[in-house]
Amino acid sequence: MVAIETINLEKTYSVGFWRKKPRVALRPLTLTVEEGVVFGFLGPNGAGKTTTLKLLLGLVFPTAGTARIFGKDIDDVEVKSQIGFLPEQPYFYDYLTAQELLEYYAQLSGVPPKERSERVQKMLGRVGLSDAARVQLRKFSKGMLQRVGLAQAILHDPKLVFLDEPMSGLDPMGRREVRELIQELQSEGKTVFFSTHILSDAEALCDRVAVIHKGELRGVGAVADLTSQTNGKVEIIFAGRAVPSALASLGAQTHVSGEVVSAVLPEEHQDAALDILRREKLRLISLTPVRKSLEEYYVQKLQPQDNRIGVGA
Partner 1 sequence: MNSRIAHVAFNTFREAVRDRVLYNLIAFALLLSGAAILVGQISIDIERLVVVNLGLTAVTFFGVVIAIFIGIGLVSKEIEKRTLYTVLSRPVRRWEFVVGKFFGLTGTLVVNTFFMAIGVFLALLYVAHKFQVADLGILTALYFIVLQFFIVCSLALLFSSFSSPMLAAVFTFALFVIGNLSDDLRGIAAVFKGIGGGVATAVAYVVPNFSGMNVVSQVAHGEAIAGRLIVYNTLYALLYSAMAISGAVLIFQRRNLK
Backbone angles phi, psi at 232, to 5 degrees: 80, 15
Query: Which residue among 9, 26, 47, 57 contacts partner 1 (CB under 8 A)?
Result: 57
Q: Among residue numbers 94 through 113, which ones bind partner 1 (CB under 8 A)?
A: 95-96, 100, 104-105, 107-110
24 binds partner 1 (CB under 8 A): no
C-beta of 45 vs 303, nearer to partner 1:
45
Using CB under 8 A as the binding criterion, the count of chain residues that bind partner 1 stands at: 32
| Dist CA 80 CA 56 (whole Å) | 10
In 94-241, where does DSSP find H-type helix? 98-108, 113-126, 142-154, 172-187, 199-205, 223-228
Residue 304, SS3 per DSSP: coil
C-beta of 82 vs 238, nearer to partner 1:
82
| CA dihedral of 70, 43, 126, 109, whole degrees rounded to 10 | -40
| CA dihedral of 160, 161, 164, 166, whole degrees rounded to 10 | -150
Q: Among residue numbers 250 through 279, which ones bind partner 1 (CB under 8 A)?
A: none
Query: Which residue among 60, 133, 274, 290 contacts partner 1 (CB under 8 A)?
Result: 60
The residues, any chain, with a CB within 8 Å of residue 71's CB and separated by 6 or more, are 1, 2, 5
Give me the 134-163 binding string for partner 1, x by CB under 8 A, dash otherwise. Answer: ---------------x--x---x-----x-
78 binds partner 1 (CB under 8 A): yes
Query: Which residue among 29, 39, 41, 92 contacts partner 1 (CB under 8 A)?
Result: 92
The β-bridge partners of 193 are 39, 162
Give me the residues that bind partner 1 (CB under 8 A), please: 13, 54, 57-61, 77-78, 80-81, 83-85, 87, 90-93, 95-96, 100, 104-105, 107-110, 149, 152, 156, 162
